[in-house]
């Protein structure tokens, strides 16, 4: 199963992003396809925080639009939302140590740990920092897309 990182969610919604069309196509492929796919809850939280932030986007996405978008993704019958479970701490601890993680990278380690503890083996992202986490294949689905 494939999990989707925050950046693809953001780019798929923000039409002012140079990666909008490619990200939107990737999300549609997943949401309208038959294989199961996933979004970690921390990525949904971060998505709302990023797109509604007035220092990141001028104008920011209105909160109600961001909420509506999350609900739209949740309508996909093949979507699974991923959160921390009983095995989360052991996975997070191993990733923090193995990736020598500190500061803002703790968030990425959290997302990677949520994925690993839920059996996810591939994450779609444009963030190369995920490559430091063992047991999770990182794929940038925008490479080669116009």
- CATH at residue 14: 3.40.50.1010
Residues paired with 106 in a beta bridge: none
103 within a domain of the structure (yes/no): no
Neighbours of 119 (CB within 10 A): 9
CA atoms of 6 and 51, how far apart (whole Å)? 10
109 within a domain of the structure (yes/no): no
Q: What is the dihedral sign for C-alpha 95, 40, 65, 126?
A: positive
- Model pLDDT for residues 45-84, shown as the tens digit of each residue: 999 999 999 999 999 999 999 999 999 999 999 999 999 9
34 within a domain of the structure (yes/no): yes
- Model pLDDT for residues 33-50, shown as the tens digit of each residue: 999 999 999 999 999 999
For 50, the domain range is 2-83+120-139
Q: How many domains does the chain have?
A: 1
pLDDT(132) > 80 = yes
């Amino acid at each position: 199963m494939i999990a989707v990182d925050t950046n693809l969610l953001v780019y798929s919604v923000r039409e002012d992003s140079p990666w909008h069309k490619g990200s939107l196509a990737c999300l549609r492929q997943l949401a309208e396809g038959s294989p199961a796919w996933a979004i970690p809850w921390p990525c949904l939280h971060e998505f709302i925080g990023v797109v509604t932030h007035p220092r990141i986007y001028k104008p920011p996405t209105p909160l109600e639009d961001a909420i509506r978008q999350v609900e739209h993704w949740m309508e996909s019958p093949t979507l699974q939302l991923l959160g921390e479970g009983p095995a989360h701490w052991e996975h997070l601890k191993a990733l923090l140590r193995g990736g020598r993680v500190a500061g803002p990278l703790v968030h990425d380690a959290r997302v990677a740990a949520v994925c690993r503890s839920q059996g996810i083996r591939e994450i779609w992202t444009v963030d190369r920092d995920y490559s430091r986490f063992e047991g999770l294949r990182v794929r940038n689905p925008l490479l080669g897309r116009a």
